[in-house]
Amino acid sequence: MSTIELTKDNFDEIVNENAFVLIDFWAAWCGPCRSFGPVYEAAAERHPDLAFAKVDTEDQQELAAAFEIQSIPTLAIIRDQTLIFAEPGALPEAALEDVIGQARALDMDEVRKSAQDQPSEGAGEG
């Protein structure tokens, strides 16, 4: 499966239809993004059961802002409509595989319970 171009228009559909979505926030002018691209594409080929999406931060500034992207490339992982990972930096292949493995191993019931137990950050902010 190749990567999906994620936009503000298809974001909800992609996240709701896929239990596990990896998102690469990138831009064409970004050298580290260009070097991470083939690593990300290769991982998409190795994990056809997962949704691999890319967000061009130049075209999708609203989506990048919603994720508070400060640095690119940034990898985000959403499982069961819950953001479980967001980290800037171009990962080497082994590190990307490790992150995917850890994300697969997470007990999402525990993650949701933990999220419910946390006081909401930024309460009262827009």
69 in a structural domain = yes
Of 48, 51, 49, the residue nearest 16 (C-alpha): 51
124 in a structural domain = no
Cα–Cα distance between 72 and 113 in angstroms, integer? 30
| Helix (H) or strand (E) segment spanning residue 104 | helix 93-105
Domain containing residue 61: 4-117
- What CATH code is carried by the domain that includes residue 50? 3.40.30.10
pLDDT at 119: 64
Between strands 4-5 and 74-79, the pairing is unpaired
**Residue 26 bridge partners (DSSP):** 56
Q: What is the pLDDT of residues 11-22, one digit of tens each?
A: 999 999 999 999
Residues designated as active site: 30, 33
pLDDT at 2: 77
Cα–Cα distance between 126 and 116 in angstroms, integer? 20
Q: What is the pLDDT tens value at each position of the chain, 126 positions in all?
A: 579 999 999 999 999 999 999 999 999 999 999 999 999 999 999 999 999 999 999 999 999 999 999 999 999 999 999 999 999 999 999 999 999 999 999 998 888 888 778 765 544 444
pLDDT at 126: 42
Side chain identity at residue 42, one-letter code: A
66 in a structural domain = yes
pLDDT at 121: 52
**Based on the structure, what is the number of domains in the chain?**
1
Cα–Cα distance between 77 and 87 in angstroms, integer? 9
SS3 at position 112 = helix
41 in a structural domain = yes
CA 8: distance to chain centroid? 14
125 in a structural domain = no
